[in-house]
Amino acid sequence: MAFMRFLITALACSLMSFGALAQSGGTFTLETRANYRDSDSASFTLPFPFPPDFLPPGADQGTVDTVDPGSHGEVSRISLILNQRWSAKSQAKVKLDTIDKYDRNPTSDDNKIDLDEAWFLYGDFVAEDSAQTGSGWYVKLGKFAKFERQNDRRSESYGLLSTAFNRFEDAGFELGAQIGNHFYVKGAFTVGNPLFFRDVNALAGDNGTDAGNPANGANPQPELGSGFPLLYDADLEDWDFDEPETGIAVGLKFGNQVAGNVVNLMAFAYNRDLRDTVDMTGSFYGGDLDLLNGVTNELGPVFEGALPFSGRKKEEFGVNLWVYWGQFTGFAQYVDQEIAALPRDGYEVEAAYTIELPLMGAIAGKPILPWLRPALRYSDLENDFSGNGGLFPAVTIWWDWRKTDYALNALLYPGVLLTVEMSKNEFLRNGVWESADETMISLGWKFNRSWGADAAPRN
């Protein structure tokens, strides 16, 4: 934590010193996201009760249930973002999220304020949607997104792979180099996101909250349902490099910088050792090996043997494809992973097309409804292992999953984005495909103010 405090202080001082260089510039952004969410109600009986104290009086079986069924209106996130650029090669970013309702895990008791990003970058960084125009190198330090993550999803929801493998930022440093106009390589040395579990819909669910702790009395009832969780890389709980993660990526890019057309193909791999346990804020369950052990540290050795895992090695290999071509954008990802000898793999494909509309009018010189963007995403995750349902808090982690997301984005006015989407979730339970779908309408508002070389507002 000392390193984290040092980094935040250094970045804050750097951002406040933007006037020191004549060519420096920056942007302050305030973002809000309000949502109408309708989640199908679903409940499935567990093969064995876990743990027995969770059961209502007289019951001999437990259930897993939709996190928060029915229709709800909520503000899911308010973000404060500072970007500072001193030169073409030197920049920094701090992003602070408040409320953060959809990133809390467990939903009820986790932190409601999150330092989402905090990093400094020096060098010739080229984004995934930009063509290379020569050789160069860069270094990035702080908390930042993984290099294989899709940073421009066309919906509020996430696919199965983007939930399971790279939803949250990691902390450490990243090095990269572009070699000519086509080839690049990247490497990372980071803390490693803790292994935990969450539902695939908007809300993660209440797993291990104080309200559901058997130590607080028999038959506890958490505020929200457990959902139907899968294993995933959760948000960082600390910045300690006890069991660091190493990552590497190599890629090829083809495209035209002037036209903005880019095809980007990347292969990547990660490797780290799971920690004995990770304290997960708001949950009495532990992360990493503690979770795979059936949270025996919390509920006793009677729950040992929940999963047939071996060792502590966590490793994965994957391939990404980004396509930016005119009004079309496409993204595809495949990942093969082993978590302590528990194998799983999956793929995710997203396509979107921007439809520019005739001028519908203008307010203050800015167009009303300048474009629509329909999007479709399909993702599939297969877990090639199974466990003992009586010894593990979520039998859903070894179910096979498939998910289809339909979305329509409409830019109502510069800085005001409406997204209407429907997620069809299917999971294979006892040889039968079941579903628990969700519909969401999201309204996002973004306010920008710039200074220095970036003084023109950017909405």
Burial readout 24-47 (b: 16 or more C-beta within 10 A, e: otherwise): bbbbebebbbebebebbebebebe
pLDDT tens column, 2-53: 444 445 545 555 554 544 444 589 999 999 999 999 999 998 877 655 555 5
17's tokens: 């010193």
Neighbours of 413 (CB within 10 A): 17
CB of 83 closer than 8 Å to CB of 91: yes
Whether the link from the prior residue into 194 is cis, omega within 30° of 0, is no
Indicate if the pLDDT at residue 191 is higher than 80: yes
Whether the link from the prior residue into 358 is cis, omega within 30° of 0, is no
Closest CA to 308 of 205, 385, 415: 385
pLDDT at 13: 52
| Banded model confidence at residue 326, pLDDT cuts 50, 70, 90 | very high
Rounded to the nearest angstrom, the gap between the alpha carbon of residue 263 and the centroid of all alpha carbons in its chain is 23
Indicate if the pLDDT at residue 81 is higher than 70: yes
Burial readout 375-384 (b: 16 or more C-beta within 10 A, e: otherwise): bebbbbbebe
206's tokens: 């209440």
In eight-state DSSP terms, residue 167 is S
Average pLDDT over residues 345-358: 97
pLDDT at 256: 86
Indicate if the pLDDT at residue 449 is higher than 70: yes
| Banded model confidence at residue 1, pLDDT cuts 50, 70, 90 | very low
As beta bridge partners, residue 160 has: none
Distance CA 260, CA 239 (A): 37
CB of 448 closer than 8 Å to CB of 455: no
Indicate if the pLDDT at residue 106 is higher than 80: yes
CB of 329 closer than 8 Å to CB of 376: no
Q: Please tell me the CATH code under which domain 2-452 is placed.
A: 2.40.160.10
Average pLDDT over residues 202-231: 81
pLDDT at 80: 98
Average pLDDT over residues 368-397: 92
pLDDT at 457: 43
Distance CA 210, CA 206 (A): 9
Average pLDDT over residues 415-441: 95
Evaluate if pTM is beyond 0.85.
yes
pLDDT at 90: 96
| Banded model confidence at residue 186, pLDDT cuts 50, 70, 90 | very high
Distance CA 264, CA 173 (A): 23
User: What share of the chain in percent tops pLDDT 90?
Assistant: 74
In whole angstroms, how far apart are CA 110 and each of 18, 67, 98, 114, 446?
A: 34, 15, 12, 10, 26
Indicate if the pLDDT at residue 417 is higher than 90: yes
Strands 183-190, 113-123: parallel, antiparallel or unpaired by DSSP? unpaired
pLDDT at 458: 41
pLDDT tens column, 55-67: 555 444 567 899 9
Closest CA to 233 of 337, 389, 83, 367: 337
pLDDT at 359: 82
Domain ranges of the chain: 2-452
pLDDT at 301: 64
Distance CA 46, CA 409 (A): 38
Average pLDDT over residues 125-149: 96
Query: Mean pLDDT of all residues in the chain?
Result: 89
Average pLDDT over residues 268-296: 92
pLDDT at 354: 97
Distance CA 376, CA 392 (A): 34
Tokens 């973004």 locate to 446
In 3-state terms the chain splits into helix, strand, coil percentages (rounded to 5) of 10, 50, 40
Average pLDDT over residues 391-405: 92
Distance CA 416, CA 443 (A): 7
